[in-house]
Amino acid sequence: MKKTMVFKWTNRVVTGVLITLLISVAVLVISTKLTGGQPEVFGYQLKSVLSGSMEPGIQTGSLIAVKSVEEGEKSNFQPGDVITFVGEENKLITHRITKVSSTDKGAVYTTKGDNNDAPDSAPVLAENVVGLYTGFTIPYAGYAINFVQSSSGSILFMIIPGVLLLGYAGFTIWRTIRQLDKRLKNSAERAE
């Protein structure tokens, strides 16, 4: 009896974890695809850091949280703020503001990676700012996010939890049928 209760609770916990994992990954993959490859959680975009320009503060391969900024907020940054902006070739860059200038088109930022010797060659227009770095970093998690965002990673992270869930469901059904057969056999032996 006690063994059956433990199995039932274990079954519920494992099933719950697998379903939660499957749903979480599905939501992450779908939200990533809907937002053009930029997953956003509660107003924060998750970005993978692919270069060492901001080391040692932000390590290569880290996952960082960047607070999305509205149009009116894009001109309010100060020197020392770390911003993510669209650079050349539509590449996202996260660097520190070293100087703020005003033009008739609005604010223009001079930026520099903490690990770079010189400021970035092109100034950043306020309209190109995507977000403000909040200081939240998970080392090496950016590598995993990049893989999940790839087509093979999306398939892998959708299929593995689904296969695990189906396999576990099959195991549970097999075990239940085996227990029912055992009970029927015991009932038949008692009836004889």
Q: What pLDDT is stored for residue 33 in this prediction?
A: 66
* 51 counts as catalytic: yes
Average pLDDT over residues 99-110: 85
Distance between CA atoms of residues 71 and 127, nearest Å:
7
Structure confidence by residue, pLDDT tens digits, 27-45 = 766 766 666 656 666 777 7
- Kind plus residue range of the DSSP H or E element containing 48: strand 44-48
Q: Helical H runs in 42-97? A: none
Distance between CA atoms of residues 84 and 129, nearest Å:
6
- Structure tokens, 150: 């790839």
Q: What pLDDT is stored for residue 162 in this prediction?
A: 76
Catalytic position from the list 24, 31, 48, 51: 51
